[in-house]
Amino acid sequence: AVTGPVLGIETSCDETGVALLRWQPEAPGEGLLAHTLYSQIKLHADYGGVVPELASRDHVRKLLPLVRETLAEAGLTPQDLGGVAYTAGPGLAGALLVGASAARAMAWALGVPAIGVHHMEGHLLAPLLEADPPEPPFVALLVSGGHSMLVEVAGIGHYRILGDTLDDAAGEAFDKTAKLMGLPYPGGPALAALAGQGQPGRFRFSRPMTDRPGLDFSFSGLKTQVLLAWQGSDQSEQTRADIALAFEEAIVDTLVIKCRRALEATGAARLVIAGGVGANRRLRAELAAAGDKDGFRTYFPRLQFCTDNGAMIALAGAIRLAHGQHQDATVQVFPRWDL
């Protein structure tokens, strides 16, 4: 079994994340020794979205300096490492290969095991990095730029997908809607900030797929509703904020309704929220309020561990390595990979 700290590497999209974590089952968060993040947002902003080739090249530039910085922050040397974990998918193939190659090379040179981690398992386990972590069984709402899923977690590694998106993911819906109202990339956080200045009640959009049973999502129709409202309006700053608010209300309401359903269906008493959209303040507040009312407890990662980061990959990898799992020394990534 692995004894030393595990180095975690995340390069699936436009953030280079690195962390060091020593696995301790009782309080995983206390085992986090250091973490660093470099965001490529500025690099891609001019293009209105992530440019895969630029992302790969920037990971190449930033990854090793970040590894050095993280080791220094923890007061460790490479020789102290017990293993290396990296995101093996899903994500951009070239970007994933940068992390996978670096991780494999380091592990091989140091003679320690390496393990490829599923990015969404990383997100799903991120709430365990906080004090008073949730015990399985629980239901997880995974809402990021690429995924909107409800997952029943019977234990670490035991996942059942309860619901998935049929089209756009929640974060994708935020980003696309922001773009069509002229907000700069990345639109999700900008749209959410704008919603804070909106007047309630001026616009109302539908809560997709809540009028029939089931736990799947569909968010692409909301985009069209927003487009029509925006094009038919005076397109003033206030109107943009009012539409942003109505859009955010529609997404958050829909997510809350489906979470309640999932908890009812499974009988779980704990709800874990993870992924970039988990950083949304309205979503956090409404889910916490629903929990107070219905008697379930909500668990959120801190904001910086909602979006992509190395700590969640170090954690997911450290758990698997502690259970004796690792893989042969081949560099292999899975751009599309089911949880």
Number of residues that bind ligand KG4 (CB under 6 A): 19
Of 52-60, 137-145, 167-175, 245-253: span binding Zn ion (CB under 5 A) = 137-145
129 sits near ligand KG4 (criterion: CB under 6 A): no
174 sits near ligand KG4 (criterion: CB under 6 A): yes
328 annotated as belonging to a binding site for a ligand = no
59 annotated as belonging to a binding site for a ligand = no
60's tokens:
């190449």
Burial class (CB in 10 A: 0-12, 13-18, 19+), 78: middle
236's tokens:
């003033």
**Percent of the chain as helix, strand, coil, to the nearest 5:** 45, 20, 35
CB of 234 to ligand KG4, least distance (A): 25
Of 39-47, 143-151, 217-225, 233-241: span binding ligand KG4 (CB under 6 A) = 143-151
Among candidate residues 201, 188, 286, 285, the one with its CA nearest the CA of residue 243: 201
What are the φ/ψ torsions at residue 90 (nearest 5 degrees)? -75, 165
177 sits near Zn ion (criterion: CB under 5 A): no
Residue 156 has what DSSP assignment?
T
- What DSSP string runs through 193-229? HHHTTPPTTS-----TT-SSS-S-B--HHHHHHHHHH
Q: Distance between CA atoms of 286 and 62, rounded to whole angstroms?
A: 37
225 sits near Zn ion (criterion: CB under 5 A): no
127 sits near ligand KG4 (criterion: CB under 6 A): no
Q: Distance between CA atoms of 247 and 192, rounded to whole angstroms?
A: 9
Q: Which of residues 192-231 bind ligand KG4 (CB under 6 A)?
A: 192
333 annotated as belonging to a binding site for a ligand = no
| CB-nearer residue toward Zn ion: 144 or 225 | 144
Q: Distance between CA atoms of 197 and 281, rounded to whole angstroms?
A: 13
The residue from 90, 192, 308, 312 that contacts Zn ion (CB under 5 A) is 308
Of 76-84, 160-168, 219-227, 302-310: span binding Zn ion (CB under 5 A) = 302-310
| CB-nearer residue toward ligand KG4: 120 or 209 | 120
Annotated binding site for Fe cation: 119, 123, 308
For Zn ion, the binding residues (CB under 5 A) are 144, 308
For ligand KG4, the binding residues (CB under 6 A) are 13, 144-146, 171-172, 174-175, 186, 188-189, 192, 275-277, 279-280, 307-308
